[in-house]
Structure 1
């Protein structure tokens, strides 16, 4: 029987009278890249702490690789590889020394360790800097070293907290490539991120939580489709009135209509027929200057579900 990587069943976490997580149920399958998204204060960190065994749920059950994290958290911790927001590297040690120290902490066998370290440094494109102090590394280099350090003890489950945080675009793309390579090798990866493009590229499924509650759980493509088929960005002269926005919003097939900066953004489902109705309503009230259509973005889905910008 295949063991689920992570399962939260009816999990609630309270701090005094404050409920940080409210009856959360999520299942992460082995071999998938799973994203956990939410605005600041949504409960992401609390959820991760319970998955990592650093915090106990007030109610409900958390299992990781089939192990109850309340009953036996120590049993599973060596099966986890973690890349936190802060790289937590020893700056005055070399890249190789950092990896050797980690190997000692996780009882990595000495036999074959040198070859494994070399392989991982090559993976991180840091082999030529193995004897350099980490304090001399760029942010992207440190992030890559933190990533391969988490791989050193060959964990079954990897957790990345904001993998692309604080690195340049080129380094971020390199990190994404490494994570996708891990997926190809069958690793299970859990990611929290504030970059929706990152979630779209990497994740098989996304869980969006807000105020400790699950508000959506699906693949990025299905989440976008659930928001509507097409977004129409319509610029008018003069600017659309509130009456026009309400009229468009009431049309069958219109998911949402929002006035902003002299334009109206309309999300529709149902294709060209609905678009035609929207255009007819607009030109009957004002002068249409420009219309552009596109697919919905994850940012718009997130904003519609939580009412917040992800990076606020």
Structure 2
């Protein structure tokens, strides 16, 4: 692979005084599955929106399939497909009717549309459901149609935003196999996901973005080796009376680089230094925590890398400012 499917050069997006994407420079090679990861609010969704021509960059530049993102936006759109997190389909139409509708939006010839419908339904093993209404489908079946909808115009680059979110394990496995098949057919795939195992299993390379900048970029294996060759240790701890207050106190330790709560009792802690575990145990006991078990992870995962490079703080963000709190009784609704 000698050509770049995507090339970013100091790509920047600002919203007023806030910089969502900060001088981002990277490239994606043709035929690659490129994992794009980051905490909520890190800038990955804004980057994808720009690359799909849904948002204008504030400064910098990008080439998508060789076309300038701003000057050649119409040509860029002909080269890409987008599988958004939200399914884009009409429930009262059949699978084939949905695909025909979107094929017409792509201005595809009628004969080409029919040919692609049969090809793509076969790709996702949905031929027998061709003339069945979408509202009769399971969530996994709908997602298969959602994926091939984006493949109708034969894009060279496919953006996939959380393609397995909310799916059961069997369907998740099926969608991942479809992604591999799509890529084997020569399509470059840009995958955004919060499922670290998915990114690790599918991606040729992974970029972790944080605060609008690249925090790490390499193959999954090289990223994991980054931790093996450092003084960072990953502990999984079961604490019977785990609380948000205890977690906040652990974050105050300088030796702690990242914390992730896994369930009501388990946390994963990334820490640096030879005496890290003793300091963590002392802090938990000081705060009244009841430690049930500790496991020292001998083999790092992509999740461990993600936690280590993105840090301790929570990044859940709302898309709007909170509504003002009303005190007293709310006014009665007016009936018209």
Q: TM-score range by the shorter chain?
A: 0.7 to 0.9
Partner residue in 1 for 2:310: 306
Q: TM-score, normalised by structure 2?
A: 0.75
* Distance 1:162-1:294 versus aligned 2 partners, 3 A rule: same
Secondary structure of 1:149's aligned partner: helix
Identify the residue that residue 24 of structure 2 maps to in structure 1.
24
Aligned partners of 1:8 and 1:62 also within 8 Å: yes
1:125–1:310 distance in 2 versus 1, CA, 3 Å:
farther
- Contact 1:232–1:265 (8 Å) recurs in 2: yes
Aligned counterparts of 1:264 and 1:11: Cα–Cα separation in 2: 34
| Separation of aligned partners in 2, 1:198 and 1:174 | 12
**Counterpart in 2 of 1:36?**
36
Task: State the shift of 1:267 in Å.
Answer: 7.1
- Preserved CA contact (<8 Å) 1:38 1:310: no
Contact 1:39 1:210 in 2 (8 A): yes
- Structure 2: give runs of 5+ residues left out of the alignment: 239-248, 278-292, 318-336
Give the Å deviation of 1:116: 2.5
Name the CA shift for 1:56/1:133 in 2 (closer, same or farther; >3 Å): same
- Judge conservation of contact 1:6–1:64 (CA < 8 Å) in 2: yes
The aligned counterpart of 1:283 is none
Equivalent residues in 2 for 1:195-274, closer than 5 Å:
195-228=195-228, 231=234
Partner of 1:149: 149
> Could you tell which deviates more after superposition, 180-189 or 107-116?
107-116
Question: How far apart in 2 are the matches of 1:263 and 1:171?
Answer: 28
Deviation at 1:95, TM superposition (A): 0.3
Give the number of aligned pairs.
291
Task: Output the CA distance in 2 between the equivalents of 1:262 and 1:34.
Answer: 31
**Distance in 2 between residues matched to 1:231 and 1:217, nearest whole Å:** 20
State the Cα deviation string for residues 178-199 of structure 1 (Å, max 9, x = none): 1111222221000111111110
Change in CA separation of 1:234 and 1:153 when aligned onto 2, cut-off 3 Å: closer
Deviation at 1:278, TM superposition (A): 9.6
Structure 1 residues 186 and 309: CA distance shift in structure 2, 3 A: farther
Paired with 2:294 and 2:14, the residues of 1 have a C-alpha distance of: 51
Q: Decide whether aligned partners of structure 1 residues 160 and 311 sit closer, same or farther in structure 2, where only a CA change above 3 A counts.
A: farther
1:157-182 deviations in whole A, cap 9, x for unaligned? 10000011121111111110011112
After superposition, the Cα gap between the structure-2 partners of 1:207 and 1:262, relative to the gap in structure 1 and judged at 3 Å, is: closer
| Residue pair 2:33, 2:188 contacting (<8 A) in 1 also | yes
After superposition, the Cα gap between the structure-2 partners of 1:291 and 1:41, relative to the gap in structure 1 and judged at 3 Å, is: closer
Flag as ranges the 4+ runs of structure 1 deviating above 3 A. 229-235, 255-258, 260-269, 289-293, 308-312
Q: What do you get for the CA RMSD once the two structures are aligned? A: 3.5
Cα shift at 1:81: 0.9
Aligned match of 1:90: 90
* Distance in 2 (alpha carbons) for counterparts of 1:257 and 1:124: 39
- How has the CA–CA distance of structure 1 residues 97 and 301 changed in structure 2, closer, same or farther, with 3 Å as cutoff? same
Q: Name the CA shift for 1:169/1:74 in 2 (closer, same or farther; >3 Å).
A: same
1:80 alignment partner in structure 2: 80
TM-score (structure 1 length as normaliser): 0.80
Partner deviation per Cα, 1:61-83 (whole Å, 9 max, x = no partner): 11101111111101120211110
Q: Deviations over 1:216-248 (max 9, x none)?
A: 11111111110126756699xxxxxx9xxx9xx
Taking the aligned partners of 2:155 and 2:38, their CA distance within structure 1 comes to 26
Cα deviation code 1:126-174 (max 9, x no counterpart) = 2121111111111111111011111111111100000111211111111
Which stretches in structure 1 are left out of the alignment for 5+ residues? Answer: 236-241, 250-254, 280-288
Matched residue, 1:180:
180
Inter-CA distance 195–293: structure 2 relative to 1 (3 Å threshold): closer
- Equivalent residue runs for 1:124-163 within 5 Å: 124-163=124-163
